[in-house]
């Protein structure tokens, strides 16, 4: 595979136990839209918003154009969007975004999961799979995850994976109508030479 920034090839599906991630497809549009609608109350406190208003409520508009936009971002080298699957069923979404090449070679990971499977270990496994993909396939050096201090479920994910705490970013992202502080966690490739999945107890070679 060519180094970043362009292009990023369509990633192969990868899995760990009952959990897998694969690139979002057009056929996922209906289920993603349904999950976003059904989980509106669950997800809204953690969703990015635009200062001053504007922007559509997630799930309120057709999702196929959104999926096409995600594919354009991959082809341009800016990010890769996955669906998270449990036993082959789509249960959430994960994005490797804000990809930087050159001397930095970093990216951010964000995710959401349906409430009906929360707490079953799906998100930690999916994040570990995505980090291993970013280090091995995209040849990135650093991955960052920023989480609101009130989001205890997401904090458990980075704690379970042992990501390094880097500090608080005050009023960092506009979330649910206001500027919110975020806790910053990161990992570099040197910290997980045998892969992130090893931290979940996966066998290594």
pLDDT digits (tens, 9 = 90+) for 153-181: 999 999 999 999 999 999 999 998 899 99
Q: What is the largest CA-CA distance in the chain?
A: 51
Segments forming the whole domain that contains residue 103:
14-200
The pLDDT, as a whole number, for residue 2 is: 42
CATH number at residue 117: 3.40.630.30
Phi-psi domain of 83 (left: phi exceeds 0; alpha: psi -120 through 50; beta: other) = beta
Task: Decide: residue 203, CB within 10 A, 0-12 exposed, 13-18 middle, 19+ buried.
Answer: exposed
In a domain, 9, yes or no: no
Q: Do 107 and 97 touch, CB atoms closer than 8 A?
A: yes
Residue 6 has pLDDT above 90, yes or no: no
What tokens were used for 82? 């996955």
Structural domains of the chain, count: 1
Check: CB of residue 69 under 8 Å from CB of residue 196: no
| Between residues 124 and 50, the one the model is more confident about | 124
In-domain check, residue 132: yes
pLDDT above 70 (res 100): yes
Q: How high is the pLDDT of residue 138?
A: 95
Q: Give the model confidence (pLDDT) of 56-89 as tens digits.
A: 667 667 889 999 999 999 999 999 999 999 999 9
Give the model's confidence band at 1: pLDDT under 50 very low, under 70 low, under 90 confident, else very high: very low
Would you say residue 205 has pLDDT above 60?
no
For residue 53 the two structure tokens come to 């208003």
* pLDDT tens figures, 11-43: 999 999 999 999 999 999 999 999 999 999 999
pLDDT of residue 66: 92
pLDDT at 173: 93
Dihedral sign from CA coordinates of 15, 131, 134, 132: negative
Residue 38 domain flag: yes
User: pTM for the whole thing?
Assistant: 0.93
- What backbone torsions phi and psi does residue 142 show, to the nearest 5 degrees? -140, 140
| CA-wise closest residue to 91 among 20, 197, 17 | 20
8 within domain boundaries: no
Q: Distance between CA atoms of 47 and 30, rounded to whole angstroms?
A: 20
The whole-number average pLDDT for the span 91-110 is 95
Q: Is residue 56 part of a domain?
A: yes
On whether the CB atoms of residues 32 and 63 are closer than 8 A, the answer is yes
User: Is residue 55 pLDDT above 70, yes or no?
Assistant: no
Asked if residue 5 belongs to a domain, the reply is no
């Amino acid at each position: 595979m060519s180094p970043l920034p362009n292009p990023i090839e369509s990633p192969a599906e990868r899995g760990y136990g009952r959990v897998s991630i694969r690139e979002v497809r057009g056929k996922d549009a209906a289920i993603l839209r349904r999950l976003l609608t059904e989980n509106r109350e669950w997800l809204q406190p953690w969703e990015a918003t635009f200062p001053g208003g504007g922007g559509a409520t997630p799930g309120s508009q057709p999702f196929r154009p959104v999926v096409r936009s995600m594919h354009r971002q991959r082809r341009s080298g800016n990010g890769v969007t996955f669906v998270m699957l449990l036993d082959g069923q789509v249960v959430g979404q994960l994005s490797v975004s804000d990809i930087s090449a050159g001397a930095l070679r970093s990216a951010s990971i964000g995710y959401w999961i349906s409430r009906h499977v929360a707490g079953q270990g799906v998100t930690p496994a999916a994040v570990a799979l995505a980090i291993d993909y970013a280090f091995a396939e995209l040849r990135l050096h650093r991955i960052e995850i920023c989480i609101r201090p009130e989001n205890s479920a997401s904090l458990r994910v980075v704690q379970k994976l042992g990501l390094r705490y880097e500090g608080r970013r005050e009023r960092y992202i506009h979330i649910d109508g206001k500027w919110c502080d975020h806790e910053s966690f990161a990992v570099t490739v040197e910290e997980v030479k045998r892969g992130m999945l090893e931290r979940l107890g996966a066998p290594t070679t």
